[in-house]
């Protein structure tokens, strides 16, 4: 009785260990090489062919990721809903405040091609 129980436990542990997903990391050295290649214009960049910021939701996600870190999540969320415009190859976003509120709002411009922040300010 003990042997079948032991085998069952051993088999369960082995199957569980074997089925766990394994991940391969590329490492910092590879990351440095990739960055160097990108900076030197080597290889093909998807963003040269297809804009990476294709919709309003992505533009908002990028803007909020940056703005939350700089100005604080609460400060930026108060400015919802945002004004969002796609102009030429850029997304331009402004915060909004209720009419009876004093203060200024954020202004941010994002390059639709590669997601770079090309302009950012927040009034006082």
Domains located in the chain, CATH noted: 51-122 (3.10.450)
Q: Beta strands 117-122 and 90-94: pairing type?
A: unpaired
Strand partners, 51: none
| Residue 39 to residue 33: CA distance in whole angstroms | 10
Per-residue pLDDT tens for 40-90?
A: 888 766 656 789 999 999 999 999 999 999 999 999 999 999 999 999 999
What pLDDT is attached to residue 101? Answer: 80
The burial of 57, by beta-carbon neighbours within 10 Å (0-12 exposed, 13-18 middle, 19 or more buried), is given as exposed
**116, pLDDT greater than 60:** yes
Record the pTM.
0.72
Residue 37 CA: distances (Å) to CA of 29, 30, 47, 114: 12, 10, 15, 17
Q: Beta strands 117-122 and 83-87: pairing type?
A: unpaired
Structure tokens of 12?
């369960």
**Cβ neighbours of residue 24 closer than 8 Å, sequence gap 6 or more:** none
């Amino acid at each position: 009785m003990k042997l079948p129980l032991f085998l069952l436990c051993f088999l369960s542990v082995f199957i569980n260990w074997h089925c766990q997903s394994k991940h391969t990391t590329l490492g910092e050295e590879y990351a440095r090489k990739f960055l160097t290649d990108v900076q030197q214009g080597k290889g093909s960049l998807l963003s040269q062919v297809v804009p990476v910021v294709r919709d309003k939701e992505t533009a908002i996600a990028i803007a909020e990721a940056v703005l939350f870190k700089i100005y604080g999540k609460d400060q930026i969320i108060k400015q919802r809903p945002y004004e969002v415009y796609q102009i030429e190859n850029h997304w331009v976003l402004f915060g909004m405040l209720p009419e009876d509120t004093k203060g200024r709002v954020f202004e941010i411009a994002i390059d639709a091609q590669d997601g770079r922040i090309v302009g950012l300010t927040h009034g006082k």
